[in-house]
Structures are given as C-alpha cells and as structure tokens.
Structure 1
Amino acid sequence: MIGPLHQRDSVPRWSRKGVMYTVVALFILIAISSMFMTQIRRQPHDRFVVVESRVRTMDAFLDDLGQDSARAAYIAGFRSLIAMEQHVTTSGDYIQDPSAAFIELFVNGTYQNGSFAIMRNATFEEYLSRVRAQAQRQGIDCNLTVVQISLWQRQPWSIMVNYTLNISIVDVGGIASWNVQRTMLGEVPIMDIRDPLYTGNTYARIQRVIKPTNITVFVDDTGNRNDSSGLRDHFNRSLYAAAGRGPDILMRFANNNSDSIYGIESLVDIDELVAQGLPVDLGATVVDYQYFSGVPATACDVQTLPDRISFVADDLEVYGVEGGLLYDPC
C-alpha cells in the first residue's frame, strides 16, 4: 500500500502546472481564433448590408421619380395652357402649332422667344433641376435628360403628356449605378382654362372659362312636357358639352374648327357680345365653333327657348330639340 502511494506522489508538481498552462493557452488560442474568424465572416456580411441598403435607396429614388414627376407634369402642363391663353390674349394671334408651343412652354417656359411669369419655377426642366439637387443630398449623382415629349387625349377634359427620360444615377461611393430610359405619363385637366376660341374671336373682351356641363337631360319631353329647363340652364351658365364633334382644346388654340372625337362646345350668347360692343351674326347658329365660322342656322324660334338661340340640323339631336321641341326653319 505504501509503495503505490509513494509512486503517485512522485509525479513532479511542475509537470502538473505545465499541463494546466497548456490547457489555458489552448483555450485562449481558440477564443482568439474564433473572434478572428467571426470578424472575417462579418466583414463581407456588413458590406452586403451596406450595398443592399444603397440599392434599395436608389431603387426607391427611381420609384419616387415616377410618381412625383407626374405631379410636376400636371403643374407644368396646366400653367403651359394658361401661358398659351395669355399669348392669344395679349397678341390677338392664334397659335399655329399648339402642341409644339405647349411642349416648349412645358420644358423651358418660353414661346416665340418670350417668357411668361406664370411659368417661373414651374417648368419641367426646373423640376428636374430640383430632383438633381435632392439626389445630391442623398449621396446620388443624378443626370436626367428629356428625350421626347408627346401629347394625346383619351377623353375631352384633359391632355395626356408622355415624356421619356434618360436617367443616369450613380452612388457617390461607387456602390451602385443605374442607366435607364423610362417613359412616364402625366395628365393635365383643361377645366378652368379660358377658351382661346372666344378670346381670339372677341378681341379678348369675352373670357369664357371651360366648365363641363353637369346637365344630363337638356329637354324632357316626357308626356309632351316640352321642358327645356336643362338646356336653358346649360346656356345661361355658359357650360360646355362633349359632343364628340367640333374642335378639341388644342385645336381651339389654333382656331381650327374641324371635328375631333374629343371636341367640346358651348353656346354663344348674342346678348353678351352686344354688351361688349362686338358685332353679332344674327343668322348664325349659336354653337360656338360654328358661330365663329359663320355657319348659318337652319332651325329658329325653338319652342320655349329665347329667340336668340338657333341651331343647324346636326345640333338638334345633340341638345335634345329634335322630337322634343317645335321649331321653324330659318
């Protein structure tokens, strides 16, 4: 019993301490290695997070541009129509190419080398300059160029503006970049614009504001009522109807009285012309584009209507007179 115990006790103490130091050293090395490997793994992950964040920021910038530019197009477009009307008012001249004039005003705020106060800080190019400045504050170099603008209508009461932009955006840190071309769409309502057809033909003495009619029945002949109150209200309030004929808004700026499926029309009040000291054509139909073209009326003395209201045959169905009210040939 004494021998074996003596043998175990014979292991030197310095040897046991050495083993302990080795174990501790191993733990330290493992911990350091683990921290180092974690740091190595974290670096590419952190860079991925940064890249992803910038990509999302720039993608959101493009989405916001599409939405915000439509509002800018509405503002620039509506003011362009006002500027065009001001040109007709001050010069007394109609506009030979209304679409080209609109686009020039829309982009630059000028027409025939003249500027318009209404376009100050409202042109589309000024809007793009503000976008570039805002992008710079977000750490994005942004280059926006208008490639093409076109106009069209899908209904009588507004103009659609198609605009194509070359868009180049680059993160200032060189993380991400886009070079794209996008076509966007803005809508410009024509309500509350002064009708250039009246402005030009009355020496700007009559400023007829475009307001769509809210009257759906001009003449109610149910039970032979001969009720023309709707038509008289439409006439007295100087409202506009979309009859699918006559000139649309851009054609009116050119005094072009041809037919358009997006044509609008109102009824001329002879008394209003007389009050402004203007010459009148008592033999013409009162539908505006026909009146200013000198189209002679063929239906006069329409039942229940003022004597100064007369029409041509094509007008009778539009305004509910045919089959609803009696009239005499002119």
Structure 2
Amino acid sequence: MRKGFFFTLLVFILFLLVLISVTAWSRIRESQEEQVVVSMRINKMNEFAEMIKEDAERTTLLSGANALRTAAAYVAYNNESKFLNNADCFQKDCIYELMYNATIGGEENYTKMDGNNVSFSDSDQMGNFTLKNWDERIVKLGDKAGFNVTIYRDNIGVYQSDPWSVKIGYNLYLNITDKALDSVFRRDLTPILVTIPLTNYTYGG
C-alpha cells in the first residue's frame, strides 16, 4: 500500500516536472518568436524612416522650385501681390504656404492684370508638387506598412544666399508608431536644407 502511494506520488511529481518544463519551453519559444517579430518591425520602421528623410529633400527641391516660379509669375502678373508689400511673405510665409498648400494668404487663385484667372494648383504653377500632398502620401504608405505616421515642420526659412540661388530649410519632425506593437516606435528630428538655383525655369513665369 505504502509502495503504491510513493509510486503514484513519484509519477505525479514527474508529470508535474514535465508539464512545467513544457510550459517553460513554450514561453521561451513564444518570447523568442516575439523578439524576432519585434526586430523585424524595428528594421522595417528604420528603413521606412530613412526613405522618408531621403524623399523629403527631393520633394522640398521640387515644391520649392515650383513655389519660386509660381511666386515670380504671381508678382509679375498681379499688381496687388503681397510680395511687394510684405518682406516676411518672401522670407518664409508665402513661399512655404505655396509649397505646402498651393495657396497665398489662403487664396487658391489670383487674377492677372488682363483679367484671366490663375489657380496656384494649375499644372504650370504648383501642380501636385506640394508638401501637403507628400505628407498625405507618406501617411498612406505608413498605413499600408502597419505604421501610424505624423509629420510636423517648424523653423521654416527661405533666403537668398547669393545672386544665383535660394535656400529653403526647416526642421522635419517624424513620429512613427507600430499599429500592432506599442513597444515599437521612433521620433526623429531631421534638418532639411536645399539650394535651388535661380534659372530661367525658376523665374520663367
């Protein structure tokens, strides 16, 4: 009777040890798999962030060049141009507004001296090359990749460093979070500075 009891107890203990071992192994396995997933998501997020930074400079060049050309046409064909009466308009406000939203003072178009109406979004003006369109495209790309993306800019500056070029710069803030993994996120501050040559195209009107 006593031998049977000890045998049963031994079997129970062995079973318990096996169960604990299997449970521990399963948890270790799950933890390892989770670490692999987290590592993959971090790598993907880092690649996505680097792509954004590289594309931000290219987009700033395109939207900046179009904004300068559009502003030149606006000044040439509009006697009430804000550029003629407001130094801040050229130095930052109006140029950046054109770059971001294809507007000046909230207006989407202006009237030439001959009475013709011109939209800042026309293909020969800003077209689709605005920072706002770029922001929306980046957010959509992030959404498809499983990321939430927010974009913010400050310290915008536009200045002519020499007679042949204009520099446009700002601080680009990126906040990227993983939709599925709260522990995976990154916040970046990237200074963007581009130099746009003043060519016949830039001031072609």
TM-score, length basis structure 1: 0.46
Higher normalized strand content (fraction of residues): 2
Change (3 A) 1:133 1:44: same
**What pairs up with 1:1-330 in 2 under 5 angstroms?**
38-92=25-79, 95-96=83-84, 97=87, 98-99=90-91, 100-112=93-105, 113-115=107-109, 116=120, 117=122, 118-154=125-161, 156-173=163-180, 174-193=182-201, 195=203
Structure number with bigger Rg: 1
Distance 2:100 2:155 in 1: 11
Stretches of structure 1 that go unaligned for 5 or more consecutive residues are: 1-25, 196-206, 210-330
Which amino acid is 1:161 matched to?
A: I
Q: Secondary structure at the match of 1:166?
A: strand
Q: Percent identity?
A: 21
Cα distance change on mapping 1:31 and 1:156 into 2, 3 Å? farther
Task: Tell whether the 8 Å contact from 1:70 to 1:187 is kept in structure 2 after alignment.
Answer: no
What do residues 25-73 of structure 1 show as CA deviations (whole Å, max 9, x unaligned)? x9x9999887665433321111111111111111112211110000100
- Which of the pair is proportionally richer in helix? 2
Point out where structure 2 has 5 or more consecutive residues left out of the alignment. 1-13, 110-119
* Alignment partner, residue 117 of structure 2: none
Paired residues of 1:54 and 1:175 also in contact (CA < 8 A): no
Does the CA-based 8 Å contact 2:68-2:202 persist in structure 1?
no
* Equivalent-residue separation in structure 2 for 1:129 and 1:157 (angstroms): 32
Which protein, 1 or 2, shows the higher relative CO under an 8 Å CA cutoff with sep ≥ 6? 2
Q: Distance in 1 between matches of 2:150 and 2:27?
A: 38
| Residue identity in the other structure for 2:132 | E
Instruction: Using the TM superposition, give the Cα deviation of residue 194 of structure 1 relative to its aligned residue in structure 2, in angstroms.
Output: 5.8
Residues 105, 141 of structure 1: alpha-carbon distance in 2 compared, 3 angstrom cutoff: same
